[in-house]
Structure 1
């Protein structure tokens, strides 16, 4: 498929190492992390970027909770951040009795819980080796943890179809998996819908089309619900890493980019306008956070 340059994009934040997990609150606040440089950040309209969780390493995913807390993945698992006080509490630090190396992308399930995946960033970032297999898992609103897969090369973007019947999961080195969701909200056996070796972040629009960040080829792909490629867009950045729709303007798609040794500060968040409105991810409603004091209102 021929590629086209994305036109008219707006730079929202720049000058970071490798931006991940862009998320937009209902009030328009943009949140993101710097995977390699560390930290979680917030960009309010008309304001400079604020550091909200300094130094946290390898944050590849974030989800907003109805309590006002922000769930942040990263090294050692998941923590909840209170944006008002800056306090954090642990949410998940092990799976099946084994300490978590790192949690990458996360997504609300629409029932108060969330899906997430682990990733071996120690091998990838520190040893320069292929990662050990990671897990794809679900945490219910009540805190029940269900491991769905234990053979994921590198877990990335997660999204649900507009009809609520399908769950999509991006696995780097493979592509996009599609799972039928059962009455309990959990997926059955998956099929590989799209083969894309450098698949990364993922989002879905209101027509069920899939927007996929392809990190090494620096493309932004759009696929129809049946997996047919619809368009390929490029941006003048070294890597295209993750995507998220703006709940205040669903025709606005935020795209996170990353740098490397040749372009060490190429991490940015840009926005583009798309024709079909998107589906921002749902918030969680974790019972463990319902009574947490000093949280944002």
Structure 2
């Protein structure tokens, strides 16, 4: 088995419940969200604050960069965009199949300028009630919406491996799924990747393995081969990891968002959190896949 990453991490930022994570490799900014306190926050690799976007907006679960430097952020009502350099902002998508969007969670580029994304039931999350089924979609570069998969419990972390033609999704409260991806980016052969109910954010390393965070898995990030075989986990600081991303010139810098060990269940049940949340930076023994920007023409 592969050796797990070193356990030395440094804190870059703190918040209430940190989530959606993206690294702007060109500009050297790490963007993260605070789903409870609100806002999208940017810091340098040394923790120096850069900017705060949408400070009053809660429930942002996913962040992705656009090619022009704009920050795409999911959440209640759809996907917004904010350009830190110009101050401009707007909505990338507000409707699905003719209806206002309840919520969108994680996103991942589709390799053709658009994105894959999953919905979530923010209305029920706010009410601390069981979520209704969610789904996966693709938003093309020209903003056409294509349904891909339905009937998920709570779509969460996403990743597309174009080499192995596979899409992975954490279906929180269910399991992590894998699909084959056809040349037209449609999905087939849905199968269980990891049978755990706490699957949260995820990322890929350059060996093709999937790193899956778990809100009931304190102190580790589970690592799984594309065939679903569990490897030695990556060791993390105390708390549960909600998201993981790679960065740095050698692609071995690793950024994680940590919440209290009971944070995920506290959020689900509408209970106060038992502590604060952190953004941390460490080093990985294996390089990870850098998430490339989408390429939408924004107004």
Once residues 279 and 23 of structure 1 are traced to their aligned partners in structure 2, the CA distance between those partners, rounded to angstroms, is 12
1:61/1:130 CA distance change after superposition, 3 Å: same
Aligned positions of 1:1-297 closer than 5 A: 7-14=7-14, 16-26=15-25, 27-46=27-46, 47-48=48-49, 50-124=51-125, 126-161=126-161, 163-218=163-218, 219-259=220-260, 260=263, 261-265=272-276, 267-287=277-297, 289=298, 292=299
Deviation, structure 1 residue 36: 1.3
- Greater alpha carbon shift after TM alignment, 107-116 vs 163-172: 163-172
Once residues 31 and 283 of structure 2 are traced to their aligned partners in structure 1, the CA distance between those partners, rounded to angstroms, is 19
CA contact (8 A) 1:238 1:263 kept: no
CA contact (8 A) 2:193 2:227 kept: yes
Runs of 4+, deviation exceeding 6 Å: none
Once residues 194 and 54 of structure 1 are traced to their aligned partners in structure 2, the CA distance between those partners, rounded to angstroms, is 35
* Secondary structure of the structure 2 residue equivalent to 1:231: coil
Once residues 185 and 292 of structure 2 are traced to their aligned partners in structure 1, the CA distance between those partners, rounded to angstroms, is 14
Between Structure 1 and Structure 2, how many residues are aligned?
A: 284
CA contact (8 A) 1:247 1:280 kept: no
CA contact (8 A) 2:109 2:294 kept: yes
Deviation, structure 1 residue 9: 1.4
TM-score by length of 1: 0.89
CA contact (8 A) 1:159 1:281 kept: no
Structure 1 or 2: more strand by fraction: 1
Deviation, structure 1 residue 207: 0.6
Once residues 166 and 273 of structure 2 are traced to their aligned partners in structure 1, the CA distance between those partners, rounded to angstroms, is 39
* Secondary structure of the structure 1 residue equivalent to 2:232: strand
CA contact (8 A) 1:162 1:208 kept: no
Deviation, structure 1 residue 162: 5.5
* Secondary structure of the structure 1 residue equivalent to 2:163: coil
1:45/1:223 CA distance change after superposition, 3 Å: closer
Deviation, structure 1 residue 64: 0.8
CA contact (8 A) 1:53 1:86 kept: no
TM-score by length of 2: 0.89
Deviation, structure 1 residue 247: 4.8
Once residues 238 and 121 of structure 2 are traced to their aligned partners in structure 1, the CA distance between those partners, rounded to angstroms, is 25
CA contact (8 A) 2:109 2:160 kept: no
Once residues 284 and 144 of structure 2 are traced to their aligned partners in structure 1, the CA distance between those partners, rounded to angstroms, is 37
- Structure number with greater CO (CA < 8 Å, separation at least 6) is 1
- Greater alpha carbon shift after TM alignment, 71-80 vs 156-165: 156-165
Once residues 154 and 21 of structure 1 are traced to their aligned partners in structure 2, the CA distance between those partners, rounded to angstroms, is 15
Q: 1:87-117 CA deviation, whole Å, 9 max, x = no partner?
A: 3111111211221111111111111010111
* Secondary structure of the structure 1 residue equivalent to 2:251: strand
- Stretches of structure 1 that go unaligned for 5 or more consecutive residues are 293-297
* Secondary structure of the structure 1 residue equivalent to 2:231: strand
